[in-house]
Amino acid sequence: MIEFKNIHKSYQVAGKAIPALHDTNLTVEQGEVFGVIGHSGAGKSTLLRLINLLERPSGGQLLVDGEDITRLDSAGLRVLRRKIGMIFQHFNLLSSKTVADNVALPMKLAGIYSKAEIKARVAELLERVGLSDQARKYPAQLSGGQKQRVGIARALACRPKILLCDEATSALDPQTTQSVLQLLGDINQELGLTIVMITHEMDAIRRVCDRVAVLDSGRIVEMGPVAEVFLHPQHPTSRRFVFESENQDEQELHEDFRHVPGHILRLTFHGEATYTPLLGTVARETGVDYSILAGRIDRIKDVPYGQLTIALIGGNYEEALKRFNAADVHVEVVR
Amino acid sequence: MNELFTNVDWADIWQATLDTFYMVGGSLVFTILLGLPLGVLLFLTGKRQLLEQAAFYNLLSFVVNVLRSVPFIILLIVMIPVTVLITGTSLGVAGAIPPLVVGATPFFARLVETALREVDRGIIEAAQSMGATTRQIVISALLPEALPGIIAGITVTAITLVSYAAMSGVIGGGGLGDLAIRYGYQRFQTDVMIVTVVLLLIIVQVLQMVGDKLVIHFSRR
C-alpha cells in the first residue's frame, strides 16, 4: 500500500522554489493498478519518482506498507528500492549487456543471490515475457516491444511488490502497446503486484487500470474508478483526455447536431447493460423514432461499456425518457 | 635499399622503435590508471551529477586545465627534478615516462569525463531504481556503457603519447623522436628523418585502426 499524505514537492530553480506537486493525498491499495494521467509538465513524473525516492518530497509523509520511507537511511532506501521495480518510456537498458545480463543486473547489485539462483530466475523471467530465445542478444538487436519486455523482466527480477511504469508504452506503436499493457495486466493478476503507471494516453488507463487520478498543474483534479472517470468525467482536463482518446471534440459534436431535429440524449451503458436491447424496446413501446448520431462500444479493463448519442423524434418523448432513466443506463440530456 | 638510406643504421632504428613502444606503452598504462579515476571523479562531482561538489569540481577542473595548458616541451624540462626523484634518471625510456604520464593524464581524464557524460541519464536512474550504490552505478552501469567512448579516448591518448614521446628526444628521452632529432635534424641526415617519420606514421595508423575496431566491437549496435 502506498500513501501520500500532504506530499508536496518543489524544485529550486535559480534560487526560486517552483512547485511541481501541490499538497497531494492519495492511497494506492495493495494489488491494484493505479493510473495517473496528465499532460507533460503536470507533475506525474515527479509523483511517480517520489514513490521510490528518486525525487525527495519537500514536505509531507510518504508511506509504503505503513512505513514512512522519507526517514529511511541509505541502506534502508536500497532495500526499499529492491521491493519496487521500475520500467521506463525509453527502456533504459544497458546497451553493453546482453538481454540475460540486463535482467540479472538488479539481482547482482543486490548481492544476496547465488549465481545459480540468478541464472534460474533470469531463465524463468525471460520465459514469462516470451523472450527465452533472445537471451544472448544485445538490446540494439531488439524491437521496441521486446526491449520493454526485457525492462519488465528486469524490474521483476528481485520479486518486487510494486511496479512503477513511467510512460511505459508511449514510445511503442499501438499494437505493441496493447501487448505490453496485456502483459502488465497479466502480471498484476498472477503476482498480485501493485502497479502505478503514469501516462498521457487515456487508452492505456482504460485497458489496465482499476483507478485513475487526473493530474493538472501539480494538482489531482479528479480521482476515482476508471469507469467513473472515463464515462462521466467532471473536470475539464479529464473531459479533454476522454474526448482525445475517442478522437472527438466536445464542441464539434454539439455543432454537428445543430440541424438534427428532435431531442438529443447521450446514453452510457456499463457492464451487462451494454448488451440489452433497450433502445429497440423503448422505441417500440413509446412510439418514438430514434437515430444514432455517435457511438462507441468498447471495454474498460474487462467490463464492456457503450456510449451512444441519439436523437428522438415523435412519439411519447416524456415516457421514453422515463423508461431510459429507470433502466440500468446513465442518461444525459444534451438538448 | 642501402644506397638510398646511406646514413640509416637499421639496428639503431629497431632499438629506437622498441624504445618508442616502451615509452608509449608504459606511459599509457600509468595514464589510464591515473586518468580513469580522475575522469570518473570529474564526472561524479560535476553539475547535477551523483556527487555534485561545485567547489571541489572547480578546483579539480582548474588543476587539469593548468596542466593541459602547459606546452609539453616546457613540461618535459620542468619535470626533470621530479623525474629524477621517481626514476633516478631523467634520460632514456625511464626518464621519459613521468613527464609523458603527467602530460597525458589530464587530457585522458577529460576524455573519460566526456565519455561518461554521453551515457544516457536514464541508465543512472534505472540503476538507482534497482537500489545500486554510487560505486555500483559507476562500475556496473556507467563504465560498461561508456566503454566505447573510453576506448576511443585511449586511442586518441595513445596517439598523442606517440608524438609526445617523439618530443622527449629533446631532453634525451630515446626512441624514434630522439633519432629524428639527433640524426635527421642536427646532422641533416634526411634519410634517417624520413625513415623515423614513416615508422611513426605506421604506428599511429595501426593504433587508430585497432582502436576503431575495438570501439565498434564494444558498441554492441
Q: What confidence tens digit (pLDDT) does each residue in B121-159 have?
A: 999 999 999 999 999 999 999 999 999 999 999 999 999
Residue B221, min C-alpha distance to chain A (Å): 5
Question: Where are chain A's structural domains?
Answer: 2-235, 248-333
Is residue B86 one of the residues assigned to a domain?
Answer: yes
Q: Does residue A19 sit in helix, strand or coil?
A: strand
The residue with cell 557524460 is B117
What CA–CA distance (Å, rounded) separates A243 from A203?
11
CA nearest to A168, candidates A36, A301, A27, A78: A36
Which CATH number does the domain A248-333 belong to among 3.40.720.10, 3.40.630.30, 3.30.1490.190, 3.30.70.260?
3.30.70.260
Which are the contacts of A23, defined by CB distance < 8 A and separation ≥ 6?
Answer: A6, A7, A8, A60
Best of A52, A53, A69, A96 to substitute, by most chain B Cβ atoms within 10 angstroms, is A96
Q: What is the pLDDT along chain A (335 residues), one digit of tens a residue?
A: 899 999 999 998 888 889 999 999 999 999 999 999 999 889 999 999 999 999 999 999 999 999 999 999 999 999 999 999 999 999 999 999 999 999 999 999 999 999 999 999 999 999 999 999 999 999 999 999 999 999 999 999 999 999 999 999 999 999 999 999 999 999 999 999 999 999 999 989 999 999 999 999 999 999 999 999 988 899 999 988 888 777 666 666 666 777 888 889 889 988 888 888 888 889 898 989 998 888 888 888 888 888 888 999 888 888 888 988 888 888 988 88
8 Å CB contact of A78 and B133: yes
B208/A contact by beta carbon, under 8 A: no
Q: What is the pLDDT of residue A127?
A: 96
Alpha carbon of A8: minimum distance to chain B alpha carbons (Å)? 21
- CA B29 to each of CA A187, B9, B86, B204, B217: distance values in angstroms, whole numbers, following the listed order: 50, 30, 16, 17, 21
Strands A16-28 and A2-13: antiparallel
- Kind plus residue range of the DSSP H or E element containing A225: strand A219-225
- Probe site for chain A from B121, B130, B140, B150 (most A CB atoms < 10 A): B130
Helix (H, G, I), strand (E, B) or coil at A26: strand
Is residue B134 within 8 angstroms of chain A, CB to CB? no
Answer whether A88 sits within 8 Å of B126, measured CB to CB. Answer: yes
Any A CB within 8 A of B133 CB: yes
Question: pLDDT at residue B2 above 70?
Answer: no
* Residues A206 and A46 sit within 8 Å (Cβ to Cβ): no
Q: Under CATH, which architecture does the A2-235 domain have?
A: 3-Layer(aba) Sandwich (3.40)
| Sign, Cα dihedral of A238, A244, A245, A249 | positive
User: Domain span at residue B98?
Assistant: 10-219
Residue where the block lists cell 521510490: A52
Instruction: Tell me whether A82 touches chain B (CB under 8 Å).
Output: yes
Q: How far apart are CA A312 and CA A289, in angstroms?
A: 6
Tell me if A105 and B218 make a contact (CB, 8 A cut-off). Answer: no
Please return the burial class of A178, using the count of CB atoms within 10 Å of its CB with bins 0-12, 13-18 and 19+: middle
CA A159 to chain centre: 22
Number of other CB atoms surrounding residue A194 within 10 Å: 23
A99, closest residue in chain B (CA to CA)? B220
- Which CATH number does the domain housing residue B89 bear? 1.10.3720.10
Q: Considering the entire predicted model, what is its pTM?
A: 0.89
